[in-house]
Amino acid sequence: MKIEDINLCDLSQFEQGCPEEVFRTLRREAPVWFHPGNAQAPDGEGFWVISKLADAKAVLKNHQVFSSETGYGARTGGGTTLADMSTDMAPGVVLSMMDPPKHDDIRALVGQGFFPRTLALLEQQMQQLCHDILDQLPACGEVDFLHAIAAELPLQVICTMANIPREDWHRVKEWADAAIAFAAHEPGVDTAPLVEKLTEMGMYAFNLIQQIRQQAPDDSVMSKVVHAEIPGEGGQPRKLDDLEVIRFFNLLMTGGSETTRNAIAYGYYMLLTHPEQYRVLESDPEKYIDDAIEEILRWTTPVHFNRRTAGQDFEFQGRLIRRGEKVVPWYTSANRDETVFENAYEFNIFRQKNPHIAFGHGIHHCLGAALARMELRTIFLALVEHLRGKRVEPVGEIRFIRSNRHQGVADMRIRISDNNGA
């Protein structure tokens, strides 16, 4: 493959997951490369592609130069997607698209809901949710693993943490699906139905917020966010306004359910297509599960990238990045870096050195990383035990959504049978 043939805005390349040849070429020949603008690029604008692990970490860690908002005023819009988002929608409003000091204040506030002691209280409930989900599996037959299993646990956990009534859980799934589809939509696609779903989610969040404001504070994530205070103008304490809390609710529901379900579905597919590793895991789950989870995270990397915007002219690895230019560390590429990961293109649950960035790096390291690891650990241990003695195999190849933003699974099915083939 030639550098000049690379077009990361051609979404068809991502229908098979990470376009490995593309990133292998970039890491080898141009690890810091300016991707020219084209008709498929958002705004028709070019952007910097950061493809190696050390470089990606350097950009993600240097928030003083590489902004998650607008490049400290370098652009009128910004955010972490390739397309600029307006500042009244996301940059500076959504936690993942904030710069300090506001980011630090709000992260400290909402992070209370993800403290280890808080998650420890959730673990037993998570295990019960998991077993209830798996008890719905047939003894034998074909199963839509993505929707029946992978989507359910993270959805139910995040709804439980937010104190959302059980009868509304199915609505949250529809909204999260719409948010991911909207973020991944191609130019010319009618997004009106998706916008309608997102508006519905916003209205639900608004009504929920008003209810919580009238209630005494409790330990739920949403209660902590609604009732707590952060430093405001002149150092005076203030509560988050409705829009800020709505944006947090949207991020919590989508980030807390969609990305983990993709790791579960793709991760289980990889275990099933590597039966020798599955058998070892099955032989002693507690011994191998933690390393297996890290390899699943490295391999599945649910988010392809998170963009930054240069807040000043900056020389990086011999290239001059101009103020206001889009700078894009690609997590999926960094997690295949041959100079860091031995046999980087092999799925290996026994891998010892595994410094992946599936959860990002720096001040925006995923707030829910510990929760996601707990969910993955819980569901894979339960799957191994629940299906012990059964023959489990994928039905066809896994399919992915057309998106260069999320490594989202579109379809993953399994067939369960007795070991005698029944």
Q: What is the pLDDT of residues 305-329, one digit of tens each?
A: 999 999 999 999 999 999 999 999 9
Q: What is the pLDDT of residues 351-409, one digit of tens each?
A: 999 999 999 999 999 999 999 999 999 999 999 999 999 999 999 999 998 899 999 99
Has residue 186 got a pLDDT over 90? no
Which pTM does this prediction carry?
A: 0.93
Q: What is the pLDDT of residues 139-163, one digit of tens each?
A: 999 999 999 999 999 999 999 888 8
The answer to whether residues 376 and 293 touch, using CB atoms and an 8 Å cutoff, is: yes
The answer to whether residues 58 and 75 touch, using CB atoms and an 8 Å cutoff, is: no
Give how many domains the chain has, as a whole number: 1
The pLDDT, as a whole number, for residue 121 is: 82
HSE, side-chain direction, 13 A CA sphere, residue 320: 2
Structural domain of 108? 3-418
Q: What is the pLDDT of residues 96-145, one digit of tens each?
A: 999 999 999 888 888 877 888 778 888 889 999 999 999 999 999 999 99
CATH of the domain at 198: 1.10.630.10
Has residue 284 got a pLDDT over 70? yes
* Percent of the chain with pLDDT strictly greater than 70: 98
From residue 20, alpha-carbon distances to 280, 309, 338, 360 in Å are 28, 25, 12, 19
